[in-house]
Structure formats: structure tokens, C-alpha cells
Amino acid sequence: MNLSFLDSNIILYLLSADVVKADKAEAIVAGGGVISVQVLNEVTSVCRRKLKMPWGDIESVLAAVKSACHVIPLTIATHETAVKIAQRYDISFYDANICAAAMLSGAKILVSEDMQDGMSINGLIIRNPFR
């Protein structure tokens, strides 16, 4: 299994009009990786609320992502780890949840455009693929 965890922004770039970023996101997702249920929830919310996509199209996107990536559940351990990360690193609680899920999955790299490229959180390295 690929030990990179993919943030929701990477998945959402699959739907972007920015062809360069969409192609890069497609290559990343095609390579596999790990995501959490939170990533699926965030993607669903953005697709519905911001992109105004019909449910059938959203289900197709989610099915493709779930077939390419290993999905891990959200747990009490994820929540408790996220609280500690948010306090220690002063990042948003939702970003801390992504970091916690990545760490608990065994990932060494978190692929995200939203966090500081190169930042290390308890040994988890943030990588922005668009830099």
C-alpha cells in the first residue's frame, strides 16, 4: 500500500478547470494512497454545496476515489489525536483531524495544498504537489 495520505483538496482538484492541477491530482489518485471518511465527507459537501453537482455525479466521483484509495474510518483515537495536534501546532481542528488520520494510518507523507509544504507534524511530512 502507498503510504501517502491524500487530503480532500487533492481529490477535489480532479474536478478542477485548472487542467495542470487536475492532471496532477489524477496522477496522484491513480497512484493510490490512503484517505479517511472525513475526506469523503468533505468532498461530498463541496461537490454538493459549492459545485452544485447532482447526487449521481457525486456518487460516481466517490466510487472512483474509493476504488483507487484505501479508506480508513474516523475513530475516537483519531479525534483524541487531532485535539492534541490542534493544540500543539495551532492548526485548524479539521486539518488536525486529517493529520491524525494520516498518522494513525501509518502514512509518512500527507499530500495537501492547504498546509505548509515541508512541515513535520509528529514525523508526518506535509507535501504540496503543486509547488
Q: Provide the residue-wise pLDDT of the chain in tens; the chain has 131 residues.
A: 447 999 999 999 999 999 999 999 999 999 999 999 999 999 999 999 999 999 999 999 999 999 999 999 999 999 999 999 999 999 999 999 999 999 999 999 999 998 999 999 999 999 999 99
pTM equals: 0.94
- Looking up residue 19, the CATH number of its domain turns out to be 3.40.50.1010
Predicted confidence at residue 3, as pLDDT, reads 79
Count of structural domains, the chain: 1
Predicted confidence at residue 26, as pLDDT, reads 95
Instruction: Find how far residue 124's CA is from the centre of its chain.
Output: 14
Q: Which domain holds residue 34?
A: 4-127
**Cα–Cα–Cα angle for 71, 58, 56, rounded to 5 degrees:** 125
Q: How many residues does the chain have?
A: 131
Please enumerate in sequence order all residues whose Cβ is within 8 A of that of 6, keeping only pairs 6 or more positions apart, or say none: 28, 29, 33, 34, 35, 39, 69, 111, 112
**Cα–Cα–Cα angle for 4, 5, 6, rounded to 5 degrees:** 115
Predicted confidence at residue 1, as pLDDT, reads 46
